[in-house]
Structure 1
Amino acid sequence: MMAVTRRHMLGLAAGCAVLPWAHALTGAPAAAMPAYLSKAQSRAFQAWMLRIVNAQMEQGPSPRWQHRDCAGLVRFAVNEALTVHDAKWMRANGIGSDSQLPPELDLTPAQKTLRNRWVQTGGTVGHYVSAIGLVQNNSRFIGRDLNQAQPGDLLFFDQGEEHHLMVWMGARIAYHTGTVTPNDNGLRTVDIPQLKTWKDTRWQPAVDNPNFAGMFRLAFLT
């Protein structure tokens, strides 16, 4: 995990200086840059991401989900939201077809390259990225006021040596604890009012909490 001090990370958030991956690839030709999603595609993506995260919470982790921690939950949900959701995919993910399914994204060939494309430390691109890499190199800072959040936004907590992500689900927050035991898959959901009054104040998403770096939105969303 990249060594970043709390002061530096929070300074980036406060100054809105967390850059999208397009900046991380400075020097690459424009044609090599991944495409952004349109507004309609972004809404469909957000709906699919929440549907996929919900499925993990309700049914347990998909066998196809590797690296089960907070960042792993986000990577899995993002990659699956960007795929084609045909009958085979639905069966593999235990999601039933119903009238509430989001529309397909209908990605262009350029947009399809977004899947499994994470900008890592130093600007390299690969299938893996840490929690801090997700917000620092692949997202843009939105703010620290929860009223600014949209479905699928990421809440980032900097606890010094440990960094943690939570997913904004609307009325609640979803996350993975990073610890898995035979009797605990590590998945959690918590209502927003409950999180705001969490006994351990380090985890409260409040503007006066120095451990709450803020909310971040995936950079490819419009």
Structure 2
Amino acid sequence: MTQLPGRRACLRLMAACAASVAAPRVWALRAVAETQVQLSQAQSRAFQAWMLRIVNAQIERGPSPRWTHRDCAGLVRFAVNEALTVHDAKWLHANGIASDRRLPPELELTPAQAALRNRWVQTGGTVGHFVTALALVQHNSRFVAREISQALPGDLLFFDQGDEQHLMVWMGARIAYHTGTVSPDDNGLRTVDIQQLTTWKDTRWQPVPNNPNFAGVFRLAFLS
């Protein structure tokens, strides 16, 4: 394979052009707006566990009907918002997650922390329910590193292909993402292991420091 499935449009860009756009942006993305509300360390670990469980449920069972914007940023927004909710029996049933499986602990959020749900800082400083992949890392996350060895479960891998950006979710042993396209026989969800991605034939998708299209690993700003 020479390209990431479902992203043909952005992969037609010339590598040199993409590199010239992406390289300076790597540095620009390191300055993220501070969030006033944060989760504690224990809450952050519980959030990360719930986020991974929710992403896994989309992979294993197919997208939840409640997930309406089916693209890479939409997957992140959905998983984050659902991780910040109360995971009672009604929620478990609606999301197809068995209550008899070992579940992460509840976050026990304060009202201010619970208000983080569906609250995304957009370009220009406004706050709303929607945010693009670029604004998600620029204004709602903090830069961690360009080495994936520094990633924690739930962290985001951000790729800048010039006129389009793409997010992937670091799951630990594997990486999950949405291609951005959906057809009757393909829901657009994918997972790959780190070996597959670091040796991808189209080098623009390799999460390695010498790839100018890989901006790095980012962590949601409200996590400790």
Task: Give the TM-score, by structure 1 length.
Answer: 0.90
CA RMSD of aligned residues (A): 1.0
Q: Match of 1:171? A: 173
- How far is the alpha carbon of 1:122 from its aligned partner? 0.5
Q: Contact 2:155 / 2:218 at 8 angstroms: preserved in 1?
A: yes
Q: What is the number of residues matched between the two proteins?
A: 204
Q: Distance in 1 between matches of 2:27 and 2:150?
A: 19
Please, which runs of 5 or more residues in structure 1 have no aligned partner? 23-32
Deviations 1:169-210 (A, max 9, x none): 000000000000111000000001110001111000000000
Partner of 2:33: 20
8 Å Cα contact 2:73/2:132 also seen in 1: yes
Residue 12 (structure 1) shift? 1.9
Q: CA deviation at 1:8?
A: 3.6
In structure 2, which of residues 42, 45, 64 is the aligned counterpart of residue 43 of structure 1? Answer: 45
Q: Using a 3 Å threshold, how does the CA distance of structure 1 residues 125 and 21 change in structure 2: closer, same or farther?
A: farther
Matches of 1:170 and 1:98 in 2, distance apart? 24
Q: Which has the higher contact order (CA 8 A, sep 6+)?
A: 2
| Residues 134-213 of structure 1 mapped to structure 2, 5 A cutoff | 134-213=136-215
Q: Give runs of aligned pairs for residues 36-75 of structure 1, distance below 5 A.
A: 36-75=38-77
- Verify the 8 A CA contact 2:146 2:215 in the aligned structure 1: yes
> Is the contact between residue 23 and residue 213 of structure 2 (CA under 8 Å) also seen in structure 1?
no
Contact 1:21-1:119 within 8 A present in 2 as well? no
- Offset at residue 157 of structure 1 (A): 0.2
* Residue in structure 1 matched with residue 17 of structure 2 by the alignment: none
Q: Displacement, 1:97?
A: 1.1
Q: 2:22: which partner in 1?
A: 6
Counterpart AA for 1:20? A
Q: Does 1:133 align with 2:146?
A: no
Partner Cα separation in structure 2 for residue 86 and residue 21 of structure 1: 31
8 A contact 2:46–2:107 mirrored in 1: yes
- Following the alignment from structure 1 to structure 2, what is the Cα–Cα distance between the partners of residues 50 and 86? 17
- How far apart are 1:99 and its partner, in Å? 4.5
| 2-structure distance, mates of 1:38, 1:124 | 25
Contact 2:23 2:212 in 1 (8 A): no
Q: 1:97 is matched with which residue?
A: 99
User: Take 1:198 and 1:60, find their aligned partners in 2: how far apart are those partners?
Assistant: 25
Equivalent position amino acid for 1:78 in 2 = V
Task: For 2:81 and 2:210, locate their aligned partners in 1 and report how far apart those are by CA, in whole Å.
Answer: 33
Which ranges in structure 2 are unaligned for 5 or more consecutive residues? 1-20
Equivalence for 2:13: none
Q: Determine helix, strand or coil for the equivalent of 2:169.
A: strand
Question: Once the 2 structures are TM-superposed, how far is the Cα of residue 48 of structure 1 from its aligned partner?
Answer: 0.1
Counterpart AA for 1:9: R
The offset of 1:9, in angstroms, is 1.5
Q: In the TM superposition, what is the alpha-carbon distance from 1:98 to its structure 2 partner?
A: 2.7
User: What amino acid maps onto 1:11 in structure 2?
Assistant: W
